[in-house]
Chains A and B, each alone.
Chain A
Amino acid sequence: MANTTVPKAQRSFEKVNEIVRKYEAKESMLIPILQEVQEEYRYLPEEILTYIATALDISPATVYGVATFYAQFSLNPKGKYVINVCDGTACHVRGSSPILEAIRRKVGLAAGKITTDDLGFTVQTVSCLGACGLAPAVVINDKVYGQVTEEAIELIIDQLKQKEAEGDN
């Protein structure tokens, strides 16, 4: 590939520039800009936040303030598979907590951590997906799984792990 010779840092800022330009460097577009940057990197690297602040001519504190306010943004790298366990009321009363625990056990997360060390999985809860008719629900990347049981979710994770193992070979 042609761009393999471009230094990594330079390449990343090019992408950020493109996103900032698309939104005409408007301060009111800060949230969509951060959303697109996060989509690109799967998190918001600190140096990019500062860079965006300069590009938009606002203080880094403003950018940091917005990035930390909204639950969607993450300042730490996320796993390749982001598992969101819905913990809305309907899912909660139909047993989302044991499912969350089962997932954490299955991917081998230590207490207090949400992402596995190999950046394979991130496991977190989300307030409500609006798929309450299918409670309890789990979303892995963009795919929604409904009426999940502990056994089912373990099976799904096994499949993902297998897919990864095959991909590596």
Chain B
Amino acid sequence: MVKLRSTEDLKAFREKCKQELEKSKLRILVCAGTGCVASGSLEIYEEFKRLLTEKGLNVDCVLDEEDNCNNNKSFKVAKSGCHGFCAQGPLVRIEPEDILYTHVKLDDVEEIINETIVGGRIVERLIYENPTTGEKFAKEHEIPFYKKQQRRVLANCGVIDPESLEEYVANGGYEGLESALAKTPQEVIDDIISAGLRGRGGGGFPTGRKLQFGKNAKGDKKYVICNGDEGDPGAFMDRSVMEGDPHRVIEGMAISAYAIGADEGYIYVRAEYPMAIKRLRIAIQEAIDAGIIGDSVLGSDFSFHVHIKEGAGAFVCGEETALIASIEGKRGMPNPKPPYPTDSGLWGCPTVINNVETLANIPIILSKGPEYFRGVGVGNSPGTKTFALTGQVANTGLIEVPMGTTLREIVFDIGGGILSGNKYKAVQIGGPSGGCLTEDHLDINLDFDSLQSVGAMIGSGGLVVMDEKTCIVEVARFFMSFTQFESCGKCVLCREGTKRMLEILEDIVGGKGTPEHLELLEELGATISDGSLCGLGKTAPNPVLTTLKYFKDEYLRHVENKVCDAKVCSALKVYTIDPELCKGCTRCKRVCPVGAISGKVKEAHTIDVLTCIKCGACVETCAFNAIKEA
């Protein structure tokens, strides 16, 4: 790779990359996101390469080896980043026709080559079928899951090979950096301020203002940090961007560094994301080799060096001061603010920390302008937001929609409704810091301000859909056990308070709850929120407080009637034997571990409710469906 020494060089390189990309007329993109790899996509990729070579079809023409390309028949098999449609994986996309094959198996590869690549026909059985209507779609952009989306941050995910700088550049990559270098740092910040970009990691703080603080801070040495410690259970947008479009993250960091006058940056990635780390490493090396980062970026006076720091498994490290402590090699505990990191951050130097998705938005603002960015979204929340749509919904995956899209559109249009026709109950948004949204909130706009008004927050964008078979109290207990475990222990109210709240919730799901417990939960929640230093403690009670507000009846059923209507809390189950159906075969009596079942052979049996430990073993063993749980 020849070093690019000016923005003109980069422009010329982009033209060359575009031409090369157009040469390979047919591209087979095999999704290599974590989800599809787990479903076996790498083997499929190898099989494509093997079979195409075996059949003498000209394959794998690498972009910078022009001579290998035969203009008439040129195929490229590439690994792509995450398409976002993980549950349908492994996914194979054929360009330029935009055909998407789902659930592809090793045996299907030959058929795809013979039918689609050689014959130009679609393999019907591999295209997406709407699980509720049975309607079939061959083209990716026609599938309802994609149709309602506006993929800007995720534009390249699933479309380009994340391990190829050439493909990123050919798709407009580093245009933002190019345009930033032609401006003064202040002009870059002004652009980001006028775009109105707000932090996508949960806080929603205006990114432009943060950069301004960083620029204004005094100091010769400054840092930018990319926060890739995506700890919220149920969120994976940052992972997908780092895996599927790593150069975009580097570009966003380089622009931020230029704006505030930093020459060094860190990407802090969770250790649970090994593929993201690998892809970022490759991307950094490619960018250094091309002269896009490193000393004298594209021949300018600006230098920028990037390092990767692997996290070691601590949720609290997503908090900026804790993250800085962790990069410095210490226990990742938060520090009081002020001083804010923009004044005194990493090793006491001014530091601007931004989340992955925020950084991925910056190149768009610089290359297409603030007006373009503001073109979608609502009021104080312009732009798009990615959401990880999971749980009991038909189409799980990663989506990107304009800010202000309603929950109904996301769950029912994009998500395809609730699995197996069950009834919608709630959506948990924003992970362990967020809250629950009920049926009444389905038409609320999803943006920073509207969500705050109902006690929830957009958080990092995890949307977990729950149906009638999900017990809200148990979910609240689940989140509390998560935050209790992840509390770093620095603030007493967070450390002890979350523990007490968890104990109360365990009592409630264990059938030992009282109505007074509910008041105590509310009181504890408010106190923990007031008395904690960082976001973890401040928001830890949210899942409990919002569910108490919107699902009070369900809590009351647990504590007053000792009934779990969702039939999840095993301690609240009651098992009875229907004497009409029982044949007296004694199988349940033999399988009961505590001897709670009595009865004679060929006579109806009974369960002693006091002895019964509600393990459910009898239900499983009964061949006559005579045992009922309620």
Q: Which residues of B contact A69 (CB under 8 A)?
A: 314, 331-333, 488
Are B390 and A135 in contact, CB atoms less than 8 angstroms apart? yes
Q: Which residues of A contact B331 (CB under 8 A)?
A: 65-66, 69
Asked if A129 meets B272 with Cβ closer than 8 Å, knowing A69-B314, A88-B233, A144-B37, the reply is yes
20 residue pairs bridging A and B, Cβ less than 8 Å apart: A30-B329, A30-B330, A35-B310, A70-B311, A70-B332, A72-B312, A72-B313, A73-B313, A89-B234, A89-B464, A90-B388, A90-B390, A93-B392, A128-B272, A129-B34, A132-B234, A132-B235, A133-B89, A134-B89, A142-B274
Nearest residue (CB) in B for A135 is B390
Q: Is B326 positioned at the interface, with any CB of A under 8 Å from its CB? A: yes
Are B35 and A146 in contact, CB atoms less than 8 angstroms apart? yes
Given contacts A31-B309, A132-B462, A134-B38, 13 further A-B contacts (CB under 8 A): A34-B312, A69-B332, A70-B311, A71-B314, A90-B388, A90-B390, A126-B313, A130-B273, A132-B390, A134-B86, A135-B390, A143-B38, A144-B34
Are A31 and B326 in contact, CB atoms less than 8 angstroms apart? yes
CA distance A6 to B90 in the complex (A): 48
Q: Which residues of B contact A29 (CB under 8 A)?
A: 329
Determine the main DSSP class of A at the interface with B: mixed
Q: Which residues of B contact A72 (CB under 8 A)?
A: 271, 311-313
CA distance A30 to B85 in the complex (A): 38
Q: Is B232 positioned at the interface, with any CB of A under 8 Å from its CB? A: yes
Tell me the residues in window 298-339 of chain B with beta carbons closer than 8 Å to chain A beta carbons.
Answer: 309-315, 326-333
User: What are the interface flags for B424-462 relative to A under an 8 Å C-beta threshold, 1 for contact and 0 otherwise?
Assistant: 000010010000000000000000000000000000001
Q: Which residues of A contact B232 (CB under 8 A)?
A: 128
CA distance A32 to B385 in the complex (A): 33
Minimum CB–CB distance for A29 against chain B, Å: 6
Are B431 and A89 in contact, CB atoms less than 8 angstroms apart? yes
Are A132 and B312 in contact, CB atoms less than 8 angstroms apart? no
Are B233 and A127 in contact, CB atoms less than 8 angstroms apart? yes
Nearest residue (CB) in B for A133 is B86
CA distance A27 to B331 in the complex (A): 12
Q: Is A43 positioned at the interface, with any CB of B under 8 Å from its CB? A: no
Q: Which residues of A contact B391 (CB under 8 A)?
A: 89-90, 93-94, 135
Are A132 and B314 in contact, CB atoms less than 8 angstroms apart? no
Minimum CB–CB distance for A60 against chain B, Å: 14
Q: Which residues of A contact B332 (CB under 8 A)?
A: 69-70
Q: Is A51 positioned at the interface, with any CB of B under 8 Å from its CB? A: no
| Interfacial residues, chain A to chain B (CB-CB below 8 A) | 26-32, 34-35, 65-66, 69-73, 87-90, 92-94, 126-135, 137, 142-147
Are A28 and B328 in contact, CB atoms less than 8 angstroms apart? yes
Are B314 and A93 in contact, CB atoms less than 8 angstroms apart? no
Q: Which residues of A contact B478 (CB under 8 A)?
A: 89, 92
Are A88 and B234 in contact, CB atoms less than 8 angstroms apart? yes
Q: Which residues of B contact A92 (CB under 8 A)?
A: 233, 475, 478
Nearest residue (CB) in B for A29 is B329
Are B312 and A130 in contact, CB atoms less than 8 angstroms apart? no
| Interfacial residues, chain B to chain A (CB-CB below 8 A) | 34-35, 37-39, 84-87, 89, 230-236, 239-240, 271-274, 309-315, 326-333, 388, 390-392, 396-398, 428, 431, 462, 464, 466, 470, 475, 478-479, 482, 486, 488
Are B329 and A133 in contact, CB atoms less than 8 angstroms apart? no
Most buried by B among A26, A28, A30, A142: A28
Asked if A93 meets B396 with Cβ closer than 8 Å, knowing A66-B330, A130-B235, the reply is no
Are A134 and B310 in contact, CB atoms less than 8 angstroms apart? no
Asked if A132 meets B329 with Cβ closer than 8 Å, knowing A69-B314, A146-B38, the reply is no
CA distance A69 to B87 in the complex (A): 34
Are A89 and B236 in contact, CB atoms less than 8 angstroms apart? no
Minimum CB–CB distance for A55 against chain B, Å: 14
Nearest residue (CB) in B for A93 is B391
CA distance A46 to B35 in the complex (A): 37
B398 is contacted by which of A94, A133, A134, A144 (Cβ under 8 Å)? A133
CA distance A73 to B310 in the complex (A): 13
B329 is contacted by which of A27, A73, A88, A146 (Cβ under 8 Å)? A27
Nearest residue (CB) in B for A126 is B272
Q: Which residues of A contact B466 (CB under 8 A)?
A: 93
Minimum CB–CB distance for A114 against chain B, Å: 14
CA distance A132 to B397 in the complex (A): 8
Q: Which residues of A contact B328 (CB under 8 A)?
A: 28
Are A31 and B329 in contact, CB atoms less than 8 angstroms apart? yes
CA distance A126 to B34 in the complex (A): 16
Q: Which residues of A contact B475 (CB under 8 A)?
A: 89, 92-93
Most buried by B among A28, A71, A127, A147: A127
Are B86 and A128 in contact, CB atoms less than 8 angstroms apart? no
In the A-B complex, the 4 residue pairs with the smallest Cβ-Cβ separation, listed nearest first, are A133-B86, A88-B233, A71-B313, A130-B236
Are A130 and B396 in contact, CB atoms less than 8 angstroms apart? no
